[in-house]
């Protein structure tokens, strides 16, 4: 099964007509497995139920394009927690759709306290970059790799407050996790831009602090501002800075498999399918510039 390389689109239901209108803009489709499942909650009989419409749509897409998965359900940063039922459903999806790789965020979204119901933060929250978090995540990523024979990537997160006195820089932490945890790196360039705007640092200097040889996928997206903060809302076209960052990273990421554009379904009526096509075409132009054989050393 050949691994896809090139330009991908993150799927949502509002994009259904797009795949027939602009099929030439896509090399692979990325899905969030969580949208295919109705979750009744931990401990409930028959907890996970397939969402029939979404499942059927993804099944049709999988006949036309290679599929990859981008999770939100693992909550990797939650200490003392791993959702085996969720993993079993991911394994079932892989059997049906044949994912080429899968990924999740370097964050947590679930709070677990003994004797209390599971609490979902509804927002991916950052983890401390320390030895305790690193060892916990290494165990989880290795376990996921042992259960699903697929490349697994972790994605850099946005954050809205800084954790003081970090033991590692983000670049050091990601490199150690990828090296020891048997995983790759999904570099979200809009997340880098969001953090750079909100915390006033140079995004190029941040990227230079990363080991780009570990980058296997890139996410690009747009966003907006709420209350003076830049948000990773996937609200439309990429800012120019994101394109500049992509142009900078591409020749420095030798293991890169693909660039995936993300757009939230609630914003699609405002920007339209043509705007999505233009973003994918612009990403492809940069891919062709840096990744075609004539341009690769």
- Quick one: what percent of the chain has pLDDT higher than 70? 93
pLDDT in tens, 31-76: 999 999 988 887 788 899 999 999 999 999 999 999 999 999 899 9
Mean local confidence (pLDDT), 25-33:
98
pLDDT in tens, 98-140: 999 999 999 977 666 666 666 565 677 889 999 999 999 999 9
Flag whether 128 is in a domain: yes
Flag whether 156 is in a domain: yes
Task: Specify the pLDDT at position 45.
Answer: 87
Alpha-carbon distance values, 191 to 147, 183, 220, 296 (Å): 29, 20, 9, 27
Alpha-carbon distance values, 29 to 46, 61, 64, 135, 256 (Å): 29, 8, 9, 32, 16
Evaluate if residue 160 carries a pLDDT over 60: yes
Token output for 291: 């990744």
Alpha-carbon distance values, 201 to 27, 193, 194, 196, 241 (Å): 34, 9, 10, 5, 13
Mean local confidence (pLDDT), 223-245:
91
pLDDT confidence band for 231 (50 / 70 / 90): confident
Flag whether 153 is in a domain: yes
Evaluate if residue 295 carries a pLDDT over 60: no
Domain that holds residue 269: 6-295
Exposure pattern of 266-286 as b/e (b: 16+ CB <10 Å)? ebbeebeeebbbebbebbbeb
Evaluate if residue 239 carries a pLDDT over 70: yes
Question: How far is 6 from 287, CA to CA, in rounded Å?
Answer: 7
Task: Specify the pLDDT at position 46.
Answer: 87
CATH of the domain at 131: 3.20.20.150
Flag whether 288 is in a domain: yes
Mean local confidence (pLDDT), 281-293:
92
Flag whether 281 is in a domain: yes
Flag whether 211 is in a domain: yes
Token output for 229: 């903060």
Report the chain's C-alpha Rg in angstroms.
19
3-state per-residue secondary structure call for the chain? CCCCCEEEEECCHHHCCHHHHCHHHCCEEEECHHHHEEECCCCCCCCEEECHHHHHHHHHHHHHCCEEEECCCCCCCCCCCCCHHHHHHHHHHHHHHCCCCEEEECCEEEECCCCCCCEEEEEEECCCCCHHHHHHHHHHHHHHHHHCCCCEEEECCCCCCCCCCCCCCHHHHHHHHHHHHCCEEEEEHHHHHHHHHHHCCCHHHHHHCCCHHHEEEEEEECCEEECCEEECCCCCCCCHHHHHHHHHHHHHCCCCCEEEEECCHHHHHHHHHHHHHHHHHHHHHHHHHHHCHHHCC
Per the prediction, the chain carries an average pLDDT of 92
Task: Compute how many other C-beta atoms are within 10 angstroms of the C-beta atom of residue 295.
Answer: 11
Flag whether 1 is in a domain: no
Number of domains the chain is built from: 1
Flag whether 125 is in a domain: yes
């Amino acid at each position: 099964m050949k691994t896809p390389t090139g330009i991908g689109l993150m799927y949502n239901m509002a994009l259904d007509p797009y795949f027939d209108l602009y099929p030439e803009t896509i090399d692979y489709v990325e899905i969030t497995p969580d949208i295919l499942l109705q979750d009744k909650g931990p401990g409930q009989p028959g907890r996970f139920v397939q969402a029939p419409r979404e499942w059927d749509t993804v099944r049709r897409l999988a006949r036309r394009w290679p599929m990859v998965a981008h999770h939100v359900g693992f909550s990797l940063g939650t200490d003392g927690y791993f959702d085996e039922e969720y993993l079993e459903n991911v394994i079932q999806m892989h059997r049906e759709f044949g994912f080429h790789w899968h990924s999740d965020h370097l964050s947590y979204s679930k709070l677990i306290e003994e004797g209390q119901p599971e609490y979902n933060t509804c927002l991916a929250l950052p983890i401390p970059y320390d030895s305790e978090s690193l060892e916990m995540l290494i165990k989880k990523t290795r376990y996921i790799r042992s259960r699903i024979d697929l490349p697994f990537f972790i994605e850099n997160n946005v954050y809205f407050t800084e954790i003081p006195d970090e033991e590692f820089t983000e670049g050091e932490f990601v490199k150690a996790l990828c090296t020891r945890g048997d995983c790759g790196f999904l570099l979200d360039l809009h997340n880098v831009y969001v953090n750079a705007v909100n915390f006033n640092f140079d995004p190029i200097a941040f990227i230079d602090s990363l080991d780009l040889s570990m980058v296997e996928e890139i996410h690009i997206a747009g966003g907006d501002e709420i209350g003076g903060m830049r948000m990773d809302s996937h609200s439309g076209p990429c800012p120019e800075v994101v394109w500049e960052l992509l142009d900078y990273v591409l020749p420095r990421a030798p293991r890169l498999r693909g660039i995936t554009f993300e757009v939230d379904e609630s914003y699609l009526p405002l920007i339209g399918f043509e705007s999505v096509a233009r973003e994918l075409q612009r990403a492809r132009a940069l891919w062709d510039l840096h990744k075609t054989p004539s341009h690769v050393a």
